[in-house]
Amino acid sequence: RAADRLASRGFERVVPALHKEHSSGTRDLILLCHRTPEKVAMGQFKLDNLPDGRVDLLARCASAAIFLSHGVRRNTRLWLTLQDQGVALCLDGGAARGMHPDERTLAAALKRTLAVEHGAMRRTDTDNGWTFHQGGLDVRLRELLPPGRMRPLIQLHEEGETTLQEAVQLASDGAAGKDASDSDPVGVVLVIGDQLGYTAEEEALLAHQGGRRARCSPKGLLTSHCIVLAHHALDQEEARVQP
């Protein structure tokens, strides 16, 4: 309870940006989570034992996705997609207030969001940037890549045909069929697998959507490290194309 109060302390009430038209400059990071225990999906985990159910990994990825040294990435949304349960938790950097990068605080906010959704806790007037959504990867891609909305789709994969840097530059220079001077280098949808990688169905779905497979490193990296490298590549490309 004390940790839950800490997670909500200082949060300001904000209007979630999720219902607005997706900005071309928004970075949407979809993390595919497999074999997530049902108790985690229900928010029934203990903050004193985050490794149980690997909630620590979810919080670590949230920290890597949203936080800068002295602030947050307002243009980034992280979608923790629990594939087995067919639901997703979104952390919107543009809506986060009073958040801290430590795993316990992030896990407490995640726990509160899940517990409220399942009726175990009362909804409050605070908003911490987390929202609950139905649907797995297929639903997320339909929402983020609607017909006529030409956003680059990059799939991080150990066997990617290109490097991450090459994929980001290709997305910037012409993946949307525009001149490099008109393309937005940061409006990408980036899909990241967990330690189990991707199922055949997920691979087929991403390929059908025109996803470009890109590798971060010749070595297998931690998911949170891949997120940091992806942000670095996107930041570098943004700096390259902007005057």
Average pLDDT on 50-61 reads 95
Q: What is 177-241 written as a DSSP string?
A: SS-TTT--TT--EEEE-BTTB--HHHHHHHHHTTPEEEES-SS---HHHHHHHHHHHHHHHHHHH
What CATH superfamily classification does 2-17+38-136 receive?
SPOUT methyltransferase, trefoil knot domain (3.40.1280.10)
Average pLDDT on 58-85 reads 95
**pLDDT tens profile 153-174:** 999 999 999 999 999 989 887 6
**% of the chain exceeding 90 in pLDDT:** 64
14 confidence band (pLDDT: 50, 70, 90): very low
**pLDDT tens profile 90-119:** 999 999 887 889 999 999 999 999 988 866
Q: Name the class of domain 141-241.
A: alpha beta
* Angle formed at CA 90 by CA 56 and CA 142, multiple of 5 degrees: 130
CA–CA distance, 52 with 14 (Å, rounded to integer): 32
Region(s) of the chain under CATH 3.40.1280.10? 2-17+38-136, 141-241
- The residues, ordered by sequence, that sit 6+ positions from 19 with a Cβ below 8 Å of its Cβ are none
**pLDDT tens profile 194-220:** 999 999 999 999 999 999 999 999 898
177 confidence band (pLDDT: 50, 70, 90): low
Q: What is 39-81 written as a DSSP string?
A: HHHTT---TT-TTTTTHHHHHHHHHHHHEETTEE-TTEEEEEE
- Which residue, among 71, 74, 70, 63, has the nearest Cα to 107 in the 3D structure? 63
The per-residue pLDDT of the chain, averaged, comes to 83
Amino acid identity at 66: I
**pLDDT tens profile 114-144:** 988 866 455 554 457 899 999 999 999 999 9
CA–CA distance, 153 with 54 (Å, rounded to integer): 27
The answer to whether residues 16 and 65 touch, using CB atoms and an 8 Å cutoff, is no
Least confident of 60-69, 81-90, 181-190, 226-235: 181-190
Average pLDDT on 40-47 reads 93
Asked if residue 18 has pLDDT above 60, the reply is: no
